[in-house]
Amino acid sequence: MSVREHEASVETPTDPQAVVRLQGLTKYYGPQLILESIDLTIRRGEFVALLGPSGTGKTTLLRILAQLETASSGRATIAEHTSVVFQEPRLIAAQRVWRNVVLAEGKGQPAKDAALAALAEVGLEEKFRAWPKNLSGGEAQRVGLARALYRQPDLLLLDEPFGALDAFTRRKAQDLVLKLWEEHRPGVLLVTHDVEESLLLADRVIVLGGGHIQADIEVDIPRPRDTTSAEFNAIKREVLGQLGQVSPHVSQDNPLHRDYGKTS
Amino acid sequence: MTAIQAPVEAHAVRTVAHVYHQGRSSRRRRGAVRVPRLALRALAPVALLAVWQLSASRGWVSAHVLPSPVDIVRAYRELWTTGDLQAALPISLRRAAVGLVLGGGAGLVLGVVAGLSVAAERLYDAPLQMLRTIPFIAMIPLFIVWFGIGETSKVALITGASIFPVYLNTYHGIRSIDPKLIEVGRTFDMSRWETIRYVVVPLGLPGILVGWRYAAGVALLALVAAEQINSQAGIGYILNTANQFQRTDIILAGILIYAVLGLIVDVVMRALERLLLPWRAGHVGA
């Protein structure tokens, strides 16, 4: 497994199975602190959900991991083979479904066969020649999933991929993600604001609040999980309790905020 | 002191019954006369033609002012038997095509580069927008001074007129692509060139084709204007000669050729759009 280092020096011996390793990761937008000294390790085969109210930097963290943004300081080691499924399917309307899966990666018949295999895994092999505009919302999102799978990622980033789907389609999509994860065992980071969804899918639920990790909760329930079971609801209460303590703003001992307070 | 409530009367709910027995997909109303769509569309032009022919043959309008449709058909036959029409058409078409390809090509390159690069946009978008506001016909005297009265000034005028529609629509077509889709390229490790090839060009193509369709129309317009300058050949030459000999029938025949060319260009460009943009069509892909 190849990994990309974002700062040259190696201080600690790295876990060879780690697909994400963040050390003191901090992100500012101008003067505004978004993420404050995040430490996080995700191993291959681990399903992690990142939970938190909107505006707490969930998506920013995911975008840093997807290398769509850079952090202000700190250190990030990220698996080289990383794929993203966004909230919107983000398909190229001018390309047929299987071309959307392949994009620029691979050529000719082998690429097409691999794309068809990825589409078969999400149950859309028959739609391989369709145009994106003729897909339903759930189908389009599954093509996005096939596009991510086609690249055989070590790290799969999911940015609220079920957010725009209706309840029934969402449930089926969640089952599909779980099935694919069990088959391919990438490390998964799922960004969501749905507590139940995070507990249904993940091994670990991380609650982000005030720009730092508020809680890191192990979900030790065998799958398939029953949302009505006592142990499920016990963990749900714990997570909701943690979410309740989240302040919508960055903590007050942030030096920048103190500076603001003393200006007048 | 409780208010006295009026007793609620259990009156019957008034309903309207609808009974349907028209069968499948029958929109025809009882007693309505069905007029074929094509016949209705053809009605106005045919009536106009009939009134025109009638007014000419009854002598209401002098044949010198407005020759009848039949006269114009005769004019075409004359142009064809003398070989003037066959000689003129390729020359005019070549002028328009060369100007369109040169101007449209330049507009395409400028538009793509400005669409992709903010630096390029800052460099030349403002001057191009200023040039665009000049009506190209106003440039004719200048072009005659610069390029003379031969072929060069004609093609130059058509070239100049064709640049802007392609430039503007290409630039807007590319700029209106959702940045989130450009981001997909970055997410999946595509190079800049691959992003242009797989994302930008396919999604910018509708705008680019609209630009070419407008440019083709403008090129034809510029052709008409350019051929007024000392034409020694082409449809403009036929028109100028007919003008000298007061042949209104041939003048009208020439004008109609321009009109038909415009129509053909539009039909061809629309067919091209359907061919190149199958993903925008309404039908469901297999």
Tokens 């809680």, residue? A215
Is the pLDDT at A84 greater than 90? The verdict is yes
Query: In the prediction, which pLDDT does B170 show?
Result: 96
Give the chain A residue whose CA is nearest to the CA of B277: A94
DSSP state of B66: S
Model confidence pTM above 0.90? no
Which among A94, A105, A147 has the least Cβ separation from residue B202? A94
Give the chain A residue whose CA is nearest to the CA of B196: A104
**What contacts A27, CB < 8 A, 6 or more positions away?**
A33, A34, A35, A57, A60, A61, A64, A69, A71, A72
Phi, psi of B254 (to 5 degrees): -65, -45
DSSP H stretches of helix in B176-247: 179-187, 192-195, 201-226, 235-244
How large is the ipTM? 0.80
From CA A231, how far away is CA A199, in angstroms rounded? 11
- How confident is the model over A33-55, as a mean pLDDT? 92
Q: Do A130 and B205 touch (CB under 8 A)?
A: no
Greatest Cα pair distance, chain B, in angstroms, is 108
Contact between residue A150 and residue A103 where contact means Cβ atoms under 8 Å apart:
no
Which among B185, B205, B279 has the least Cβ separation from residue A131? B279
Query: In the prediction, which pLDDT does A189 show?
Result: 97
Residue B202: list chain A partners with CB under 8 A: 92, 94-95
Query: In the prediction, which pLDDT does B38 show?
Result: 85
Question: Which burial class, exposed, middle or buried, applies to A132 when counting CB atoms under 10 A from its CB (0-12, 13-18, 19+)?
Answer: buried
Residue A17 distance to chain B (closest CA, Å) = 22
**Length of chain A measured in residues:** 264
pLDDT band of A94, cuts 50, 70, 90: very high
Residue A92: list chain B partners with CB under 8 A: 181, 184, 198-199, 202-203
pLDDT tens-digit map of B12-29: 788 888 888 766 655 555
**What contacts A245, CB < 8 A, 6 or more positions away?**
A209, A214
pLDDT tens-digit map of B72-128: 999 999 999 999 999 999 999 999 999 999 999 999 999 999 999 999 999 999 999
Contact between residue B247 and residue B79 where contact means Cβ atoms under 8 Å apart:
no
Cα–Cα nearest to B206, from B266, B257, B275: B275
Extents of the domains making up chain A: 15-81+154-165+177-259, 88-152
pLDDT tens-digit map of A125-150: 999 999 999 999 999 999 999 999 99
Question: From the candidates A131, A135, A143, which should be mutated to test the interface with B, based on the most B CB atoms within 10 A?
Answer: A131
pLDDT tens-digit map of A5-15: 555 444 455 67
Spatial strand order of the sheet with A73-79 comes to A3-5, A73-79, A18-29, A32-43
* Residue B234: Cβ within 10 Å count: 25
Rg, Å, chain A Cα set: 19
Is the pLDDT at A32 greater than 50? The verdict is yes
Query: In the prediction, which pLDDT does B283 show?
Result: 47
Is the pLDDT at A247 greater than 70? The verdict is no
From CA A198, how far away is CA B199, in angstroms rounded? 33
Residue A186 distance to chain B (closest CA, Å) = 17
Whether chain A has a CB inside 8 Å of the CB on B174: the answer is no
Query: In the prediction, which pLDDT does A252 show?
Result: 43
Query: In the prediction, which pLDDT does A244 show?
Result: 83
**What contacts A48, CB < 8 A, 6 or more positions away?**
A42, A187, A188, A189, A190, A202, A203, A204, A205, A206
DSSP state of B15: -
Query: In the prediction, which pLDDT does A255 show?
Result: 42
**What contacts B183, CB < 8 A, 6 or more positions away?**
A68, A90
Between the two ends of chain B, the Cα-to-Cα distance in Å is 74
Residue B197: list chain A partners with CB under 8 A: 104
Cα–Cα nearest to A94, from B112, B278, B188: B278
* Residues of chain B with confidence (pLDDT) below 50: 1, 283-286
Query: In the prediction, which pLDDT does A251 show?
Result: 46
CATH 1.10.3720.10 is held by the domain B70-277: yes
Give the chain B residue whose CA is nearest to the CA of A130: B285
Query: In the prediction, which pLDDT does A259 show?
Result: 39
From CA B22, how far away is CA B27, in angstroms rounded? 8
Query: In the prediction, which pLDDT does A220 show?
Result: 92
Is the pLDDT at A97 greater than 90? The verdict is yes
Query: In the prediction, which pLDDT does A53 show?
Result: 83
| CATH class given for the domain over A15-81+154-165+177-259 | alpha beta
Upstream peptide bond of A224 is cis (omega within 30 degrees of 0): yes
pLDDT tens-digit map of A169-213: 999 999 999 999 999 999 999 999 899 999 999 999 999 988 889
Query: In the prediction, which pLDDT does B25 show?
Result: 58
Which among B194, B198, B278 has the least Cβ separation from residue A92? B198
Query: In the prediction, which pLDDT does B12 show?
Result: 78
**Length of chain B measured in residues:** 286
Buried b (16+ CB within 10 A) or exposed e, B22-45: eeeeeeeeeeeeeeeeeeeeeeee
